[in-house]
């Protein structure tokens, strides 16, 4: 009776007079239709993924049972008596097996583990609400009325909340965009996250064999990587790299470089530091296409410790399984979509092209197309090929292209917080649920766009919520100037317990998720 009631709905309708009658409407067909579609697809996926075992194991059992039934006790005794050991053959076969196994083991890529990571939680005095940020921009006196109105509207639709952080130099009036202030911001970010990471992992600076630092808009001499080596007095034979000008997707490029170095060297640790410099990127002119970065980019950074040591598998959180990089820089429209230049008054800033949406969509599509065959189950490959066959061979052009279900390949998604519209388009095109994009939307709301480090704030959100379980697959995807789109795929080696310290979400995680309205007026 309870189940039947759940499939019934009541509707109060007017009966033509001042009274009302209750109409009982059965929802059983609609209910069954939605449930059937879901479970038919899951059943199909399970059948294809486990088809080999489902069909071959019963067949082998039947054949083995029939063979055993045909043999008598005398047959077994005869087989045992006729069996002779040939010492030379045994040694030769054993040696060949050991040689082939050793060759295979040595030729395999080294497993790369993510031991742990740390994200910057800036000082509270650097926190500014949207209203406070707009008021500060007015006080600067560099922006005309049209520019102020544009920034207000951009912030209202940005998806940012009222607890994001700005650079100390930008909060001064007027902003001080000098090399000294930019270095001070870089030191604040880098040294804070690296100190926290060393504390969490009990790692010494001398243990680091590979160092990769990425920052798009600030590239001093000596480099940022040299600043870290000098501060921590790292060893002289460290392999250090400084990546500049590669935008918000540079964090995954740094991972790829560190992975390559760990494949080429002996057992060691790689330290990756991802950040952006807000001091140098803040624009004080009045060109609208260059004002948007002011509204989205906020202070942040992350440090990641990678290891190729087998013993670290026991304490590591994740194992790197795939990195896929896509670069559209050969196309002029893509190359110019995010461009650093001066405006007509020689004020330097970051210009965003009107073609950015189209360019980003094309790069993401290419990257996903390349990643799909590596991670999607066989069931999705067959559905895609069947759709392609119908469209190309059977000429059914009205048939919509099949969009693979990436939810079958990943449990968690960390999509770069490039903007609210980007997240909504990714959610729509990949048919993701609100829970799948929750880490990205909440990171944008709480910390803003922290460039290449944003995907690590999203992973920190998942850990703070206690959602990462052993065996879970995680997809980090980031995009940025160039135009580039890059993906990293991780597998959780253990269930990650809710952190009790050293997580940027600890003081507010219980308040999230929050509803982010499409339009949030700044009072």
Domain boundaries, the chain: 113-498
Who wins on pLDDT, 19 or 139? 139
Tokens linked to 261: 């170095």
Tokens linked to 386: 């069947």
If DSSP codes are grouped into helix, strand and coil, which group holds residue 402? coil
Mean pLDDT on 282-296 = 92
Mean pLDDT of the chain: 83
Contacts 24+ apart (CB under 8 A), 460-464: 460/117, 460/119, 460/503, 460/504, 460/505, 461/505, 461/509, 461/512, 462/412, 462/414, 463/496, 463/498, 463/499, 463/503, 464/498, 464/499, 464/503, 464/505, 464/506, 464/509
Query: Tokens 């006196």 map to which residue?
Result: 141
pLDDT attached to residue 19: 35
Other C-beta atoms within 10 Å of 184: how many? 16
Contact partners, residue 54, CB within 8 Å, separation at least 6: 47
Cα separation, 156 vs 521, in Å, equals 5
Distance of CA 19 to the CA centre of its chain: 57
207-238 residue pLDDT tens:
999 999 999 999 999 999 999 999 999 999 99
Question: Which residues are annotated as catalytic?
Answer: 248, 327, 412, 416, 445, 449
Residue 286 pLDDT greater than 90, yes or no: yes
Mean pLDDT on 98-119 = 80
36-77 residue pLDDT tens:
444 444 454 545 555 555 556 666 666 656 655 655 555 555
The percentage of the chain sitting over the pLDDT mark of 70, rounded to a whole number, equals: 78
Who wins on pLDDT, 297 or 48? 297
Tokens linked to 508: 């507010």
pLDDT attached to residue 211: 97
pLDDT attached to residue 20: 34
CATH number (3.40.50.1980, 3.30.70.20, 3.40.50.300, 3.40.47.10) of 113-498 reads: 3.40.47.10
**DSSP character for 192?**
H
Cα separation, 441 vs 444, in Å, equals 5
pLDDT attached to residue 85: 53
Residue 319 pLDDT greater than 90, yes or no: yes
Contact partners, residue 252, CB within 8 Å, separation at least 6: 323, 325, 452, 455, 476, 478, 486, 487, 488
């Amino acid at each position: 009776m309870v189940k039947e009631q759940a499939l019934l709905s009541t509707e109060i309708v007017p009966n033509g007079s001042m009274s009302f009658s209750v109409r009982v409407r059965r929802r059983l067909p609609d209910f069954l239709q939605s449930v059937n579609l879901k479970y038919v697809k899951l059943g199909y996926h399970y059948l294809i993924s486990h088809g080999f075992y489902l069909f071959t194991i019963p067949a082998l059992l039947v054949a083995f049972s029939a063979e055993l039934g045909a043999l008598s006790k005398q047959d077994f005794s005869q087989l045992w008596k006729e069996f002779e050991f040939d010492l030379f053959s045994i040694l030769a076969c054993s040696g060949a097996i050991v040689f082939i196994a050793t060759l295979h083991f040595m030729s395999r890529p080294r497993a790369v583990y993510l031991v742990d990571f740390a994200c910057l939680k800036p000082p509270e005095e650097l926190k500014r609400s949207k209203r406070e940020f707009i008021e500060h921009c007015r006080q600067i006196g560099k922006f005309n009325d049209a520019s102020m109105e544009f920034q207000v509207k951009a912030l209202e639709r940005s998806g940012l909340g009222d607890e994001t952080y700005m650079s100390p130099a930008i909060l001064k009036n007027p902003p001080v965009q000098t090399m000294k202030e930019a270095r001070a911001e870089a030191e604040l970010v880098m040294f804070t996250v690296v100190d926290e990471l060393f504390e969490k992992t009990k790692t010494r600076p001398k243990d680091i064999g590979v160092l990769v630092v990425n920052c798009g808009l600030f590239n001093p001499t000596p480099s940022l990587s040299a600043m870290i080596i000098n501060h921590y007095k790292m060893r002289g034979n460290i392999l250090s790299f400084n990546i500049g000008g590669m935008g918000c997707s540079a964090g995954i490029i740094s991972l790829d470089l560190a992975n390559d170095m760990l494949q080429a060297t002996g057992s060691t640790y790689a330290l990756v530091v991802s950040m952006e410099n807000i001091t140098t990127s803040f624009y004080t002119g009045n060109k609208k296409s260059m004002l948007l970065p002011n509204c989205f980019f906020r202070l942040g950074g992350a440090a990641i410790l990678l290891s190729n040591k087998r013993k670290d598998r026991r304490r590591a959180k994740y194992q790197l399984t795939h990195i896929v990089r896509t670069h559209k820089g050969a196309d002029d429209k893509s190359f110019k979509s995010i461009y650093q230049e001066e405006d007509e008054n020689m004020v330097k800033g970051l210009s965003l092209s009107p073609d950015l949406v189209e360019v980003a969509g094309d790069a993401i599509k290419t990257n996903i197309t390349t990643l799909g065959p590596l991670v999607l189950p066989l069931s999705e490959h067959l559905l895609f090929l069947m759709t392609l066959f119908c469209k190309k061979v059977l000429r059914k052009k009205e048939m919509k292209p099949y969009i693979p279900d990436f939810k079958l390949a990943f449990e968690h998604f960390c999509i770069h917080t490039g903007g609210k519209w980007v997240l909504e388009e990714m959610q729509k095109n990949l048919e993701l649920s609100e829970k799948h994009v929750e880490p990205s939307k909440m990171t944008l709301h709480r910390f803003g766009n922290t460039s290449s480090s944003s995907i690590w704030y999203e992973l920190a959100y998942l850990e703070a919520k206690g959602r990462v379980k052993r065996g879970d697959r995680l997809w980090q995807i980031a995009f940025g100037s160039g135009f580039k789109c890059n993906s990293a795929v991780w597998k959780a080696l253990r269930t990650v317990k809710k952190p009790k310290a050293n997580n940027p979400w600890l003081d507010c995680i219980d308040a999230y998720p929050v509803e982010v309205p499409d339009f949030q007026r700044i009072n």
